[in-house]
């Protein structure tokens, strides 16, 4: 089915671009063979045979179901505003860096991820009531074994701090030039400048 003649015959029978559509569907673990069979007007057995012929080493059966559950759990993470904000900002600055999700009993952790060999804790900074020139935020500690901490300040701004810089206590960040931690605002540059122990 991979040679041009076979592609042409398949497309003649099931419509223009049918084999491309079939391949795209087969590579989505959450699309069942029954759903594909309905779309093409064939049996599930026929789809299973196409799958074996076109993607011989691809997962089947229970493995596809496991991959589908994993895919759905990943999608759930993006419904979490803090995780989605972190991901969007990281991708804007470092599209090629690999984010590794950390397994949890019910899917994946929402408040920590791996970035290369580092563990990143995700937290929201709390607006501080302290009277200071510029906005002030309370940075609550309690990040466990994280190497870096991502604090979401508001819809536009964040801090990305190396864990040793934060210390063991909570801290206050004043959003003003020259303030402590200001060099870590809206940049993931600490990944290159700091090497957590």
Q: Could you give all domains of the chain from N- to C-terminal order, each with its CATH number?
A: 4-66 (no CATH), 78-193 (3.40.1350.10)
Q: What is the DSSP letter of 116?
A: T
Q: Can you give the pLDDT at residue 134?
A: 67
Q: Can you give the pLDDT at residue 50?
A: 93
Contacts of 116 (CB under 8 A, 6+ apart): 97, 98, 191
Distances (CA, A) of 120 to 110, 115, 166, 188: 11, 7, 13, 11
Q: Residues 49-71: pLDDT tens digits?
A: 999 999 988 888 889 898 998 88
- Pick from 146, 144, 148, 140: nearest CA to 172: 140
Q: Residues 6-29: pLDDT tens digits?
A: 888 998 999 999 999 999 999 998
Q: Can you give the pLDDT at residue 172?
A: 87
User: What spatial distance separates the first Cα and last Cα of the chain, rounded to whole Å?
Assistant: 54
Q: Can you give the pLDDT at residue 167?
A: 74
Q: Can you give the pLDDT at residue 2?
A: 61
Q: Supply 37's token pair.
A: 């069979």
Q: What is the mean pLDDT of residues 85-95?
A: 91
Q: How many CB atoms lie within 10 A of CB 156?
A: 8
Q: Supply 41's token pair.
A: 């007007």
Asked if 149 and 123 touch (Cβ cutoff 8 Å), the reply is: yes
Q: What is the DSSP letter of 155?
A: S
- Pick from 109, 128, 129: nearest CA to 119: 109
33: three-class secondary structure by DSSP: helix
* Torsion sign over Cα 105, 106, 109, 114: positive
């Amino acid at each position: 089915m991979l040679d041009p003649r076979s592609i042409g015959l398949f497309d003649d029978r099931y419509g223009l671009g049918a084999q491309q559509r079939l391949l795209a569907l087969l590579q989505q673990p959450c699309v069942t063979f029954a759903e594909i069979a309905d779309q093409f007007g064939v049996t599930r057995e026929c789809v299973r045979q196409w799958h074996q012929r076109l993607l011989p080493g691809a997962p089947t059966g229970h493995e596809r179901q496991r991959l589908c559950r994993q895919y759905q759990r990943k999608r759930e993470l993006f419904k979490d505003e803090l995780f989605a904000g972190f991901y969007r900002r990281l991708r804007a600055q470092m599209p090629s860096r690999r984010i590794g999700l950390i397994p949890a009993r019910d899917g994946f952790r929402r408040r920590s991820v791996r970035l290369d060999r580092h563990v990143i804790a995700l937290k929201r900074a709390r607006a501080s009531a302290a009277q200071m020139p510029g906005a002030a935020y309370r940075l609550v500690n309690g990040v466990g074994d994280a190497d870096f901490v991502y604090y979401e300040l508001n819809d536009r701004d964040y801090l990305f701090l190396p864990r040793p810089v934060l210390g063991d206590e909570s801290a206050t960040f004043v959003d003003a030039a020259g303030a402590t931690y200001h060099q870590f605002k809206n940049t993931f540059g600490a990944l290159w400048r700091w090497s957590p122990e």
